[in-house]
Amino acid sequence: MGIVRKIVHLFHSFFLESGAMVCLLGRTLLDLPAALRGMPRTLSCMMQFGFYTLPLAAFIGLFIGMVTSLQTGLELKELGLVEQVGSIVGLSVVQEMGPVITAFIICGRVGAAMTAELGTMAVTEEIDVLRSLGISPVRFLVVPRFVAAVAMVPILTVYSIVIGVWGGALVATSVLGVAPDVYYKRMFDSLELYHVAIGMSKTFVFGAIIAIVCCHTGLRATNGVEGVGKATMRAVVVSLTAVLISDFYLISYLSDFWKSLLG
Amino acid sequence: MEFVVRDMHKSFNGNHVLRGLSLDIAEGKITVVLGGSGCGKTVLLKHLMGILKPDSGSVQIDGKDITHYSERELLPIRIRIGLIFQGGALLNSLSVFENCALGLREHRLEPEKEIRRIVKEKLEILGLGDRLNERPANLSGGMRKRVAIARALTMNPEAILWDEPTTGIDPPRASRIDNMIREMSDRIGVTTVVVTHDLISAFNLADMVYFIHEGRIVESGPPDEFRRSTNEHVREFLRRRYDVGDER
Ligand SMILES: Nc1ncnc2c1ncn2[C@@H]1O[C@H](COP(=O)(O)OP(=O)(O)OP(=O)(O)O)[C@@H](O)[C@H]1O
Ligand SMILES: [Mg+2]
C-alpha cells in the first residue's frame, strides 16, 4: 500500500512539475520581446553565464578531444586504420560529445547558480516583492536567463568543439603519429554539413531546457536555506536527465530532418 | 480603494491558518489589524494583493472579485497598491536607489531624471538620503524597513498595506512614520491597512480595528469601542501588550 501510494505520488508530481515547466516555457516565450527592454539585464546574464564559463568550456573541450582521439586511436592502430582517427573524432565531438558535455557543465555551473539565485529570492520574499510591485517575475528574472542560456550554450559548444578538435589533433600527432594534415583532411572528408547542423541545433534546445528547469525549480523553492540547497540539487539532476533524454529523441528526429534538408 | 474579504480559508500543508475570515476595508480610511504572532496577519495582507490565493472564500477590490485573477490580470491592480513587507524584503542584488526606483523604471511611469528626483525625495523623508548606493546587506533592519517604505511610496499608491511599520524602528522615527501614515490618509485619502503589535500607534491611527484570533475576526469596531471589548482574547491581548509597552 505504502509503495503503491508513493509511486502514484511520484507520477502525480512528475506530471504536475513537467506541466508547470511547459507553462513557464510558454509564458517565457510570450514575454520574449521584454528581453529587448531589459537588455542590460540580459547582457549581464550572458556575461555571467557565458563569458565566465569560457575557460571551463575550453578545458573540458580540450580533454574531450584528447580522450576521444586517444581511445579510438589506440583501437584503430591495432586494426591498421589509425589515419581514420580524424574522422571519428570529428563526427563524435561535433555531433555528440561537444554539445552534450558542454550542456552538462553548463547545468552544473550555470544552472545550479540560476536555481540558487532564484531560490534565495523566493525564500527571502524577493519574488513576492516583484509581484507586489506589479512586475512579472517571469519577465524580470526568467526571460533574461532564458535568452542568455539559449544564446550562450551554442556559443560555448562551438568553442569547446573547436578546442576539442584541436586537442584531438594534438594527441593524434604526438601519440599516434598521424600527420596533422591527414587528421584534418580525414575529418573534413567525413564531416557533412548536416552533422554540424544536428550538433548545433541540439544546443539551442539544451539551453532552453537548462534555463526553464533551473528557473522553475528556483522559483518554487520553499523552506529557507535548506530548501534552496535541495532545489539546487534537484534542478541539476532534473536538467541533466532532461538533457540526456531529449538528446536521445533529438538525434532520431533531427538527423532525419537535417539529412533530408542538407544531405 | 475598497477591499472586501469574505469567508476566506487558507492552509499551508495542513496548518489551517485562516478559518473563515471576513473583513471590510473602507476607502480612504485607516484600518488596523491586530492579532497574536503567527495568527495570519501577513498571510492576510498577501491575499489582499493576490500574492497568495485562498483555498476558499473571496477577495474583492472595488467590487471586482479578484480571487481567480491570473498574474497578468493582477498586475495593473498591484501597481495601485503598495505593500510594505514585514522584514523590508529588499532585492539584495540591487542598491538602495535601484530598489526604490524598480517599480517606476519597470513600468516606465516617469522619465529617468524624474525617477531620480522622486526616489531621492522619498529616501530623504525617511532619513536615508545619504545611503543611495548602499547594498541592502549593509543596512540595519530598521533601515531596510525604511527603504521598503520609500519604495512603496515612490509608486504613489492608492492603497498602502503596512506590515508592522514601526516594529524594529526607534520610537522617535516610529512616531514620525505614524504621522506620515495619518497625513497621507488625511491629505491624499490613501486607503490604509496597518498590521501591528504596537497598540499605541494602533489606537492613534485607527478608524477601524479588527482583531484576529484562530483565523477569524473575533472583534471589530472603532478604537474607543474596541478598547472596551469584553472578548477575553482581546482583553488578554490589550493587557499583555500594555505591559510590554510599560517595560519599554
Ligand atoms: N509560505 C508559507 N508556507 C507555509 N506556511 C506559512 C507560509 N506563510 C505563512 N505560513 C504560516 O502561516 C502562519 C501565519 O503566518 P503569518 O506570517 O501570517 O503570521 P503573522 O500574523 O504575520 O505573525 P507575526 O506577527 O509574527 O508577523 C504561521 O504559522 C506560518 O508558519
Ligand atoms: Mg507577519
Candidates A88, A56, A236; CA nearest to A160 is A56
Q: pLDDT tens for residues A65-111?
A: 999 999 999 888 888 888 888 898 899 999 889 999 999 999 999 99
Q: How far is the CA of A144 from the centre of ligand 1 (A)?
A: 32
Measured between CB atoms, which of A121, A129, A136 is closest to B75? A136
B168 compared with A200, residue with greater pLDDT: A200
* Short-list A185, A93, A125, CA closest to B52: A125
How far apart CA A7 and CA A1 sit, in angstroms, is 10
Q: Are strands B56-61 and B30-35 parallel, antiparallel or unpaired?
A: unpaired
* Mean per-residue pLDDT, A188-209: 91
B102 ligand 1 Cβ < 6 A? no
Site to probe by mutation for ligand 1, drawn from B11, B16, B17 as the one with most ligand atoms within 8 Å of Cβ, is: B17
pLDDT in tens, A138-156: 999 999 999 999 999 999 9
Q: Are B208 and B31 in contact (CB under 8 A)?
A: yes
Question: Quick one: which of A131, A126, A122, A120 has its CA closest to B103?
Answer: A131
Distance B44 CA to ligand 2 centre (A): 9
pLDDT of residue B245 exceeding 50, the answer is no
B89 in contact with chain A, both atoms CB, cutoff 8 A: yes
Q: Which amino acid is at B51?
A: I
CA distance, residue A103 to nearest chain B CA (Å): 27
Q: Which residues of A touch B103 (CB under 8 A)?
A: 133-135
- Which pLDDT band holds residue B240 (cuts at 50, 70, 90)? low
Q: Given this model, what pLDDT does residue B247 score?
A: 40
List, edge to edge, every strand of the sheet that includes B64-65: B15-25, B3-12, B56-61, B64-65
**Closest by alpha carbon to B4, among B77, B67, B68?**
B67
Residue of A184, A172, A238 whose CA lies nearest to A211: A238
Q: Which H/E stretch holds residue A157?
A: helix A143-174
Query: Per residue in A229-242, pLDDT tens?
Result: 999 999 999 999 99
The C-alpha R_g of chain B, in whole angstroms, comes to 18
Q: Please give, rounded to a whole number of angstroms, the shortest distance from the CA of B130 to a CA of chain A.
A: 24
Q: What pLDDT is recorded for position A83?
A: 85
Cα–Cα distance measured from residue A236 to residue A244, given in angstroms and rounded to the nearest whole number: 12
pLDDT tens readout for residues B130-167: 888 889 989 888 888 889 999 999 988 999 999 988 88
Burial class (CB in 10 A: 0-12, 13-18, 19+), B217: middle
Burial class (CB in 10 A: 0-12, 13-18, 19+), B221: middle
Find the mean pLDDT for residues A28-41.
Answer: 84
Q: Nearest 10 degrees: CA dihedral of A245, A251, A253, A258?
A: 150
- Closest Cβ–Cβ partner in A120, A121, A131 for B51: A131
ipTM of predicted assembly, 2 dp: 0.89
Q: What is the pLDDT of residue B246?
A: 43
Q: Are A115 and A231 in contact (CB under 8 A)?
A: yes
